[in-house]
Amino acid sequence: MLKAVFVFLLVVLNVSAPQQSQPAKPAGSPLARWEGNWTGEGKFFSQSAVQRLQWERVLSGKFTRLTVRVETASGQPMFEGHAYYRQTEGAQFDARWFDSQSHIYPIKAQLEADTLTAFWGEPATEEGKSVYKLFDAGKQLEVIDAVRNKDGSWREFGRFVLKRSTM
């Protein structure tokens, strides 16, 4: 009988115990101001082009995915890529880049005020940087892409000014 009462109390206590709360939603991302769709014109390898970016939180908010599309002025695809950014500490980010030229690069990025600077690639293959700078109270985004020359200098290959859009 004592055993039955003990089991009964365990069941009652277990049922009446407060439900565990759902896991906390991830805190706001430092990249939240970049989130959304962006479209603008510029130059890509000296050719006039249109760039379309989308920044969005994905995978339960643990990553910010950047989708990049570059097209000719007539809409022909020139380039496409994706990066998955993860905040590591403070204003530091790690990411992985995948693109339509079969490249997969690691990225180390730093956020400072309205500028995200992403260093990508590896010394054994190719190294570059992409700078994403918000201006005009966050209504516009300048994107500058460069590759590192053998002498250590930077050669710009893309520059665009984008506005928020519906993509």
Question: Distance (Å, rounded) from C-alpha 83 to C-alpha 103?
Answer: 11
Closest of 100, 99, 48 to residue 72, by C-alpha: 48
Domain range holding 138?
28-165
Residue 9 lies in a domain: no
Q: What is the pLDDT of residues 100-110, one digit of tens each?
A: 999 999 999 99
Residue 11 lies in a domain: no
Q: What is the pLDDT of residues 8-48, one digit of tens each?
A: 433 333 434 344 433 333 456 789 899 999 999 999 999 99
CATH number, domain of 88, equals 2.40.128.20
CA-based Rg of the chain, rounded to a whole angstrom? 23
Residue 2 lies in a domain: no
Q: What is the pLDDT of residues 133-157, one digit of tens each?
A: 999 988 999 999 999 999 999 999 9
Q: What is the pLDDT of residues 58-68, one digit of tens each?
A: 999 999 999 99
Question: Distance (Å, rounded) from C-alpha 91 to C-alpha 83?
Answer: 17
Residue 17 lies in a domain: no
Strand intervals (E) in the chain: 36-44, 47-58, 63-72, 77-89, 92-99, 104-112, 115-121, 127-135, 140-148, 154-165
Residue 54 lies in a domain: yes
Residue 22 lies in a domain: no
**Residue 167: per-residue pLDDT:** 58
Tell me how many domains the chain contains: 1
Residue 12 lies in a domain: no
Question: Distance (Å, rounded) from C-alpha 148 to C-alpha 117?
Answer: 14
Residue 62 lies in a domain: yes
Q: How confident is the model at residue 3 (pLDDT cuts 50, 70, 90)?
A: very low
**Residue 90: per-residue pLDDT:** 87
Query: How distant is the alpha carbon of residue 113 from its chain centre?
Result: 16
Which structure tokens are listed for 166?
A: 């519906």
Burial of 136 (0-12, 13-18, 19+ CB in 10 A): exposed
